[in-house]
Amino acid sequence: MKLTNKDFLTLKDFSKDEILALIKFAKELKEKKKQGITGNHLQGKNIALIFEKPSTRTRCAFVVACNDEKAYPEYLGANDIQLGKKESIQDTARVLSRMFDGIEFRGFNQSDLETLAKYSDVPVWNGLTNEFHPTQILADMLTIYEHFNKLEGLNFAYIGDGRNNMANSLMIGCAKLGLNYINISPKELHPDNELINLCKSFANNSSIKISDNIEDIKGADIIYTDVWCSMGEEEKAKDRINILKPYQVNDELLLKTGKNTIIMHCLPAVKGNEITENVFENNADIIFNQAENRMHTIKAVMIATICNIDI
């Protein structure tokens, strides 16, 4: 399977087989790195890393992945270029794609990312927008596969702020890959109906459910949570904490699953809000494996979309 020159903007654009191929390829790259084997797939390539929003995992994952494969990464922060300010996104895309072999964008608006991709002649990758975070989902699904040795048929519960970029992207990923997905959140934080219906159309042998009842956590193989206030929403913190307190991932919630459930978190975590410190630490191996897997899956995406190779 070839994904050469394909943008990576949202998992909506990828088939089940394409997503699984990326996960399998990332797993192979991870196993080689553990053996001290890195590659030269990207030798001589230059990678632009645009960051409107700060980052730990995304930035480090792209930089290390580039170095492992002999590429040169150039960090372009919010004050380093004129993106959408003195120079249009269209013109910035046309300039950068003359100089670089791939462009990562981590910012606010999905529409800006899509404009960047439309006018770029090289692959553009979504490092996070307000709407979607697809590279995180690849890392999450690799982590789940490593733990359960399967994806299809597992019961996946997302709990917390149900309409943020992680909830959106996880619903798409679960629908595409055959995990039964439930979003448990207050009604005012439920995901968009259009996206729900789209994900239901993706789900052939799995289910998509939206609930505000924490009792529906029963049977979950995986519980996933995220911060209650996304980047840029800090002024809403007090209200969010008040309405989301009943949706905290804690020992009491875990008892409701009736299973040996694993806990996942994309980080950074606000321990004491969306998750207790005790539950976080008891699942730290899983959570930090997620973080590491950002590097391996991002490496897979870059190689697959830049290089003319089968994955």
Q: Which residues pair with 156 in a beta bridge?
A: 181, 222
Label the pairing between strands 102-106 and 208-211. unpaired
Task: Give the containing element (helix H, strand E) for 77.
Answer: strand 72-77
CB 176 within 8 Å of CB 170: no
105/270 Cα distance (integer angstroms)? 25
| Residues with active-site annotation | 106, 133, 136, 226, 266, 294
Cα angle vertex 157, ends 152, 159, to 5°?
155
Where do the DSSP E strands lie in 87-216?
102-106, 124-128, 155-159, 180-184, 208-211
Give the list of residues 6+ apart from residue 280 with CB closer than 8 angstroms, or none: 263, 265, 269, 271, 287
Tell me which residue has tokens 């090289």: 122
